[in-house]
Amino acid sequence: MGHAWRVVMENVRQKVGADRTFKATSNARNEAMFKEATEFCTHLRVLERDLRSLHKEIDAKFTNLRNILSSPLPRAFEEGRDGAVPCTEEPKLIGQGVGVEILQQAANDLKARLDEDVIKPLRSWLIAYRAVCDRMEKLEAVRLELDSRRRTVDSLTEKVDRLEKTVPTPQQKDKHEQELEKMTQLLHHKRDKLTRTMHAYRELEQTVFNSLNTLIKDTGVLRDYTGLSLQILQECYQKAYSAFSTATPLLDYNSTSDSLFTHMPMMDNVPVRMVAPSERSRQQSDRLGARKDGMGLYAPASDDGGDAGQYGNDQQIQPQMAGYGDMQQPVAQY
């Protein structure tokens, strides 16, 4: 019995030693994978937060833009009997003819597409990550239980070894055999529990590994979601820009928008255009041309009450004429 038992115990020691090596190896593998997944999760949460913040910011900006476009333009006034009288009866809106409702729709579409096409997949990854976190916690609890059962088996093994090596007196032989049998049975019972716990640990460890492996492979597609968010943002601005395609000319105001949307459906690669002179600038040009003298520039300012009078001489008007009349310059597009 003693030799057979020693063989059994040696097998148990070898198995426990192998299981400890497996535990150390598997823990190191899972912990390394989980650490990097956690670091990546931090960046992912920042991305999700920025996307939500981006939508709120655009929504606020489009709201401000709608308010601006719904505001009246300032009017020119002239002296009347009772004081200043506007040249036009009704004020014109800055966004005359602009489809301001499209701005709100563009912001709504941005939120819907970001939520469905980008944020929802990102949150699915975060949900899977939280499931891995729960399994890691459970795995750690099983590991602690497994270590506790190992220590119990090791302690009982040492006691059985000591009893086997002890040579009892003839008076204590029966008691010694009873104690050895009792400790042996207890050791078998504890070893069975250790084996079941070890199998549960291995299964859970493999489940955690598979979950982490799948989670890590899924991180590759997140780059596509990041690029998609930029595409959605671009389409949002393009749709908002289309609201200006119905803009009507602002009579009596110098504006570049009369033919802007006819020739430029998109904002990309906007060409520089020359602005057609307004009626006011043509009148100023004709008046100045009529006052040219034979020596070159302009004659001294007259008292005709025109725009030149407020400057003292016509040469001072020249810098103010950029973009108007005969002195057209390229005008920056807005």
Q: Residues 60-88: what's their mean pLDDT?
A: 87
pLDDT of residue 271: 39
Using 50, 70 and 90 to split pLDDT, how confident is the model at 128? very high
How far, in Å, CA of 92 to CA of 250, rounded? 8
Instruction: Say which DSSP state 93 is in.
Output: B
Burial class of residue 283 in the structure, from the number of CB atoms within 10 Å of its CB (0-12 exposed, 13-18 middle, 19+ buried): middle
Q: What is the pLDDT of residues 322-333, one digit of tens each?
A: 333 343 333 333
Residue position matching structure tokens 């999760």: 41
Using 50, 70 and 90 to split pLDDT, how confident is the model at 258? low
* Token pair belonging to 83: 């004081």
Element (H or E) spanning 23, and its range? helix 2-69
The class (CATH top level) of 28-72+94-245 is: mainly alpha
Q: Residues 120-130: what's their mean pLDDT?
A: 93
Instruction: Say which DSSP state 117 is in.
Output: I
Q: Is the pLDDT of residue 135 over 90?
A: yes
Using 50, 70 and 90 to split pLDDT, how confident is the model at 305? very low
Q: What is the pLDDT of residues 87-102, one digit of tens each?
A: 877 888 888 889 999 9
Q: Residues 4-28: what's their mean pLDDT?
A: 52
Using 50, 70 and 90 to split pLDDT, how confident is the model at 221? confident
Compute the 3-state secondary structure of the chain and give helix, strand, coil in percent, each to the nearest 5. Answer: 70, 5, 25
More reliable by pLDDT, 177 or 139? 139
Using 50, 70 and 90 to split pLDDT, how confident is the model at 290? very low
More reliable by pLDDT, 149 or 174? 149
pLDDT of residue 81: 84
Dump the DSSP string for 184-221.
HHHHHHHHHHHHHHHHHHHHHHHHHHHHHHHHHHHGGG
Q: Is the pLDDT of residue 225 over 70?
A: yes
Rounded (10°) angle between helices 222-242 and 120-165: 160
How far, in Å, CA of 241 to CA of 334, rounded? 11
Using 50, 70 and 90 to split pLDDT, how confident is the model at 25? low
Q: Residues 35-47: what's their mean pLDDT?
A: 92
> In whole numbers, what is the pLDDT of the chain averaged over residues?
76
pLDDT of residue 204: 94
For 81-106, give one letter per residue: b (16+ CB within 10 A) or e: eeeeeeeeeeebbebbebbbebbeeb
Domain locations in the chain? 28-72+94-245
Using 50, 70 and 90 to split pLDDT, how confident is the model at 282? low
Q: Residues 18-30: what's their mean pLDDT?
A: 63
How far, in Å, CA of 281 to CA of 245, rounded? 27
More reliable by pLDDT, 154 or 27? 154
For 56-80, give one letter per residue: b (16+ CB within 10 A) or e: eebbeebeebbeebeeeeeeeeeee
pLDDT of residue 291: 43
Q: Is the pLDDT of residue 35 over 80?
A: yes
> What percent of the chain shows pLDDT beyond 70?
69
